[in-house]
Structure 1
Amino acid sequence: MAISPDINRQTAADASDLSGMASARFSRLATVRLFVLSHIASKAAEKKYGLLAGLRLTEARMLLVLGNFGPSTLERVMREMSLEKALASRSASSLVDRELIRRRPHDIDGRAVELSLTERGRGVFVKLHDAILGWNEEWLSVLEYEERATFFICIEKLICSARRKASEADETLVVGADF
């Protein structure tokens, strides 16, 4: 396809070809593919968590973090889940109201909030944990053993790179701020 330098002389077929190429390039962007995968997986998990325990996705994940790591500060939970403070606080409040977790001042740093599972929360955690192991295996079953290993290596590299880039962007915003 030869595209004329004069945009006014391009045919509809030329424009369609360009649009198709741009669309294909966009669809192959790593960030787009990761977003699509994350969105589909999150929607499926939200549905399963809702059916299994009547929880929203962030609530279920918060229980899973606390069950796996034990009592933790809200800041640690936020870091593990990559959550904004407002959403983490709302999820924690909902779980406290349902008596699945307890919230109290941290022993050492009274400004920090420590979250921990209640007995009832531990029971829900066990149910969620067993289910998530099954779902994880189901999702990964389409990959051969070597592909799984490569997948996890690549994901970890991408996470580290994204965190570095986010940190650099934060530093640029602070340094470059001229108000």
Structure 2
Amino acid sequence: MSQPPDRNAPTGSAVDAAGDAVLDLERFVPYQLSLLSNVVSQEIAEAYGERFGLAVTEWRIIAVLGRFPGLSAAGVAERSAMDKVAVSRAVARLLERGLLHREMHDDDRRRSILELSDAGREVYSQVAPLALAYERELLAPLSEDERVQFSRMLDRLGERYGL
């Protein structure tokens, strides 16, 4: 017979009556992060998809290049922790839509540099305030101190993975 999980426990660990480890999936931090990320990404995709015709990967590329212009597709993938193939496909769609420019790197003709086009910068200038408003709404249940603490915790966890 399984013991009820401690809902205040910080992790998904529990022990059944035989002393065997039981994964309490609802309290398992990687699962919780994944669920939250999926829900947030889906909401953002719906909002930006309807208004700007952007998929999540496309928006992330625009956001990264809006903040860090002049990256290669590999650099965008690295900075955003997205799959290189997914980035490459999304870059192709953004180039086709005229939201990005691609130039060849002076030293290495095989490496291209990506920049937002004027149209891409316009999309970025419209979406960035919406994204910040969404973030405020997402974090609204937290106090200011909790938001600062949460940000610090995310930074510390991200450092472990080079983020």
Tell me if TM exceeds 0.5: yes
CA gap of 1:145–1:93, structure 2 versus 1, over 3 A, is same
Partner in structure 2 of residue 44 of structure 1: 43
Q: Following TM superposition, where does structure 1 have runs of at least 4 consecutive aligned residues deviating by more than 2 angstroms? A: 107-111
Let me know the Cα RMSD of the aligned residues.
2.2
Structure with max Cα Rg: 1
Count residues in correspondence.
Answer: 147
CA gap of 1:2–1:157, structure 2 versus 1, over 3 A, is closer
Query: Once the two structures are aligned, what percentage of the paired residues are identical?
Result: 29
Shift of 1:153: 1.1
Partner in structure 2 of residue 29 of structure 1: 28
Q: Deviations over 1:81-102 (max 9, x none)?
A: 1111110100000000000001
- State the secondary structure of the residue aligned to 2:82: coil
Gaps of 5+ in 2: 4-16
Q: Deviations over 1:26-52 (max 9, x none)?
A: 211111111111111111111111022
Q: How far apart in 2 are the matches of 1:112 and 1:83?
A: 18
Partner in structure 2 of residue 99 of structure 1: 98
- State the secondary structure of the residue aligned to 2:109: coil
CA gap of 1:110–1:28, structure 2 versus 1, over 3 A, is same
Q: Normalising by structure 1, what TM-score?
A: 0.75
Q: How far apart in 2 are the matches of 1:118 and 1:45?
A: 22
Shift of 1:107: 2.3
Partner in structure 1 of residue 10 of structure 2: none
Q: Normalising by structure 2, what TM-score?
A: 0.82
Shift of 1:142: 1.1
Q: How far apart in 1 are the matches of 2:131 and 2:2?
A: 52
- State the secondary structure of the residue aligned to 2:115: strand
Gaps of 5+ in 1: 4-16, 165-179
